[in-house]
Chain A
Amino acid sequence: MTALLERGGRRGRRPRGRPLLHTSYKQDMALLDTPGKRRWLSALLVIAVLAPFMLTDDILQLLAVGFVASIGAIGLNIVTGYAGQISLGHAFFLAIGAYTAAAVSGDPDGKVIGFGVTSILVWLPLAGLAAALAGVIVAPLATRLRGLYLAIVTLGLVFLGEHIFKEWDSLTGGPGVGRPSAVPELFGIRLDEAGAYSKEQKLYLLMLVMLVLFAVLARNLMRSRVGRAFAAVRDRDIAAAIIGVDLRRYKLLAFAISSFYAGVAGALMYTVAGYFDPGSFNLLLSVQFIAMILIGGVATVSGSIMGAMFITLLPRITRELPGVLPFISSESKDTPNVFQVETVLYGLLIIIFLILEPRGLFGIWTRIRNYWKAWPFSY
């Protein structure tokens, strides 16, 4: 063991033909620790980069929303999955990001507050920081409260936020009226207007790059000292405190980082539609994010992404499903009709899914992987 650790300073060599044998600590902690992961990830990335030239615009838009939702889900996973602080307040932080970005990049002569700085390099970090600041203000609650109490208190935050955003007409446009979202402009190119490439293609690529960036950041953070401290706090906060983890500090940090992600996601999310309404940031949005990380897999970055994609694509899938059941009426006055079936399916699929696999998509993935790893001796 000591010998292995001593060699850890240099890049340990793997014995030929034994790719899974780790001979150094560094190898063990590597970002992509198996050749399988490396191969699969590169394949996935190639497909993702080629997709905008293959798929139709509506699918691209949906995927782009899914990517942004993934960033938000990773953020929630940081505070809830890694650090164990259940937060139903995610919608509030998304809102702060969305409104900061929209206000910074908005039209200065418009009906709502706007400062006209359209560069994404300015408003995106600002949106994240504003949300992070809100997270820091909220965090002290988490040092006093646990579990469901914390969950419902953060939910209170969503309701208070909704009230403020509905009342603050000059920023948000007011309920039912809304305002234009942030203007995505990068190096002088407007990404939300069609040019040589359609706006969906451009936005898709932007969101993909953002997702990769923030996913790698999160993955790196979680295998650092901070990440281990988070896990310690989650698993047993008293034990963590005894071994010298400053609870207050790390809970604060978890909320700040998570909120930063939420702010970024909120800022990007609505650029796709170009418009948003203060009524959007409600309990349902928060719960959707919780559902994303539960369905994807708690405390995994890839799980967050899978879950976010699942929840984003699910309505589209359920809209297609009644098509294969032609005996269901498409008249909205009949019961049951396709629209009811579609909505019921949305609920049912979530239920069935979680009953069959409470560890989420990541759990399914692990099982499939293990099955084939041991094949043909799997049972």
Chain B
Amino acid sequence: MTEFWQSVARGLGNGSIYALLALGFVIIYKSTRVVSFAQPAFMLAGAVLVTYLAAEVNFFLALVLSALAVALLALGVERVTVRPMVGKPVFVVAIITLGLDIVIRVIVNGFIGLDVRQVGDPWGLQTVNLLGVPVQQRYLAMLLTTALMVAALFAFFRYTRFGLAMRAAAFDQETALAQGVPVGAVFATSWAMAGGLAAVAGVLVGSGASVDQNLWIIALKALPAIILGGLDSLGGAVAGGLAVGLVESLVGTYQADLAPWLGQNFAVVSPYVLMLLVLLMKPYGLFGTPEVERV
């Protein structure tokens, strides 16, 4: 049974990273209707920045600074490359973000150097006993950080004026604009938030482990998560991320014994299978808004 609970803990830990990444995708999608492929690069940038900052300041301060810096970077990138594309086909913008991803990653890779780098997290590989199950602290840290960020985000959207403006803009851009919502600022903020979230996710991946230039690949795991949860649902992104993490971890633990015919490492693609199954029943994901067709 220990094995099961450890697998669950790992799944929720990794899942919360996917959730953070998925939130970034969804926030950008809601405000601009674009899937941003630049998220992997922001994630890598955040992790690498912390490896430099951690030598100077406390880890948590470094985490916050890095998230802010990457948010600023994302904001700038949005202003220069994505803003001119407002009203243009969304897939053109998606390919632009892909170009951005390449550019940013090449530059960040230049700062990684020849050796793997450390984010300098305080918990490392220590474990704590949780109801008799030894659980790694890093998974708890991941879960806790994500919970905090999600709570803050929900409070922001629920209780602040600008959060309301963002929701309004996501609901109907033109009407929001007519009501005096600064839609441009909404775009910029959504990119900044997504950048910050990706940076935090990147640092969490590097905690208890190391950072190298292949870290970015993890961000792709958020794609099945956002579809699973529904592209335009923040809660769905969190649920989707956690579900992807859990399924992946449990499949990894048990599939080799229960269904070896699926091939080694079926766990890697299991989120996509889950996604396909869910979509067969709910075409807009678990929590997505069904598109209303006006004829």
Residues of A within 8 A of B (CB): 86, 141, 144-146, 148-149, 151-153, 155-156, 159-160, 162-164, 167, 238-239, 242, 283, 287, 290-291, 294-295, 298, 335-336, 340, 343-344, 346-348, 350-351, 354-355, 358
Contacts and interface: CB of A to CB of B under 8 A. Distances in A.
Interface in B58-111: 81, 84-85, 88-89, 91-92, 94-96, 98-103, 106-107, 109-111
**Interface SS of chain B:** helix
Contacts of A152: 35, 223-224, 226-227, 275
B218 interface: no
A167 B88 contact: no
Given A163-B263, A354-B92, A156 B99 contact: no
Interface stretch (B127-135, B172-180, B276-284): B276-284
A159 B279 CA distance: 16
Contacts of A355: 81, 84-85, 96
Interface in B247-295: 263-266, 268-269, 272-273, 275-276, 279-280, 283-285, 288, 291, 293, 295
B231 interface: yes
B269 A159 contact: yes
B220 interface: yes
B269 A160 contact: yes
Contact of B92 (A151, A344, A358): A358
B279 A153 contact: yes
A290 B273 contact: no
Given A163-B263, A358-B85, A347 B103 contact: yes
Nearest to A360: B92
B92 A343 contact: no
A335 B265 contact: no
B95 A294 contact: yes
B265 A163 contact: yes
A164 B268 CA distance: 12
12 contacts: A141-B279, A144-B279, A153-B276, A155-B223, A283-B220, A291-B95, A294-B89, A335-B111, A336-B110, A347-B99, A347-B106, A358-B92
Given A347-B102, A351-B81, A287 B95 contact: yes
Contacts of B231: 148-149
Contact of A344 (B107, B265, B272, B288): B107
Contacts of B101: 347
Given A167-B264, A347-B100, A351-B100, A149 B283 contact: yes
B48 to A, nearest CB: 13
Contacts, number: 116
Contact of B283 (A144, A167, A294, A358): A144
B73 to A, nearest CB: 15
Contacts of A149: 227, 231, 279, 283-285, 288
Contacts of A151: 35
Q: Which of B95, B273, B291 has the largest count of A CB atoms less than 10 A from its CB?
A: B95
B103 A156 contact: no
A159 B272 contact: yes
Interface of B: 29, 35, 37, 81, 84-85, 88-89, 91-92, 94-96, 98-103, 106-107, 109-111, 220, 223-224, 226-227, 231, 263-266, 268-269, 272-273, 275-276, 279-280, 283-285, 288, 291, 293, 295
**Interface SS of chain A:** helix
B98 A156 contact: no
Nearest to A337: B110
A348 B103 contact: yes
Contacts of B92: 294, 354, 358
Given A163-B263, A238-B295, A156 B102 contact: no
A338 to B, nearest CB: 12
Contacts of B100: 347, 351
Contact of A290 (B91, B111, B220, B266): B91
Nearest to A293: B91
A145 B109 CA distance: 37
Nearest to B98: A287
Contacts of B102: 343-344, 346-347
A358 B88 contact: yes
A248 B285 CA distance: 22
B281 to A, nearest CB: 10
Nearest to B288: A149
A155 B224 CA distance: 9
A153 B88 CA distance: 23
Contact of B99 (A145, A160, A336, A348): A348
Contacts of A290: 91, 94-95
Given A149-B284, A152-B223, A156-B224, A350 B91 contact: no
Contacts of B295: 238-239, 242
A163 B269 contact: yes
B279 A238 contact: no
